[in-house]
Amino acid sequence: MIVIDERRPNEAAAAEALRMRVFGGSHLRKTSQRLREGRLPAAGLDLVAREDGALVGVVTLWNVGLGADGRPGLLLGPLAVDPELRGAGLGAQLMRVSLAKAAGRGHGAVVLVGDAPYYARFGFEAAAAGGLTLPGPFERERFLGLEIEPGWLQGAAGLVTPHGQRVMEPAQAAA
């Protein structure tokens, strides 16, 4: 049985190992990474799929500011499913659970960079993110948005910026 749950602190290495297996490290070179590095995931929105204790899927959402007025939103990604379990609906389950949790926490909108034909089924579309830009190169047709709260992305324009809580350096943590 597969269970979707918040990632436990001791699963950080296993989650990154799955992302490395799926993306071969390319997730660390993407423009979206500039919004993630040095930040903690959004509260309650770093999710894993577990099968018999092993991680078979991951999805993480991050706090961002959506454009010049800094309205809050979320960046989704990476989303990764164990290659051996593809096509069985696990990716969709991770998407639906994470979006429901985001809505439950009062978030207004989600953006991501990904394949529009996959994400359209969850309501993502390029037009919704059309006024926004990312801090680095990106393909406009792969930069997608979804309003959880109707109208949240209306008039959103300018740069998406990192808003997540900063990861504490060991020196700070000890202070």
Residue 90 near ligand COA by CB under 6 A: yes
Q: Single out the residue of 7, 11, 18, 22 in contact with ligand COA (rule: CB under 6 A).
A: 22
Q: Single out the residue of 3, 43, 54, 88 in contact with ligand COA (rule: CB under 6 A).
A: 88
Q: Single out the residue of 53, 87, 106, 151 in contact with ligand COA (rule: CB under 6 A).
A: 87
Strand-pair partners of 7: none
The dihedral through the CA atoms of 61, 64, 66, 69 has a sign that is positive
Residue 114 near ligand COA by CB under 6 A: yes
CA-wise closest residue to 66 among 29, 108, 96 = 108
- Indicate the residue among 54 and 168 with the shorter CB distance to ligand COA: 54
Pair type for strands 158-162 and 132-133: parallel
Burial of 159 (0-12, 13-18, 19+ CB in 10 A): middle
Q: Single out the residue of 75, 76, 81, 148 in contact with ligand COA (rule: CB under 6 A).
A: 81
- Contacts with ligand COA by CB under 6 A: the residue count is 15
Q: Single out the residue of 47, 79, 111, 134 in contact with ligand COA (rule: CB under 6 A).
A: 79
Written as one letter, the residue type at 137 is: P
Residue nearest to ligand COA (CB): 91
Chain centroid, CA 119 distance in Å: 12
Please, how many CA atoms are within 13 Å of residue 29, restricted to the half-sphere of its CB? 5
Residue 123 near ligand COA by CB under 6 A: no
Chain residues binding ligand COA by CB under 6 A are 22, 79-81, 86-92, 114-115, 117-118
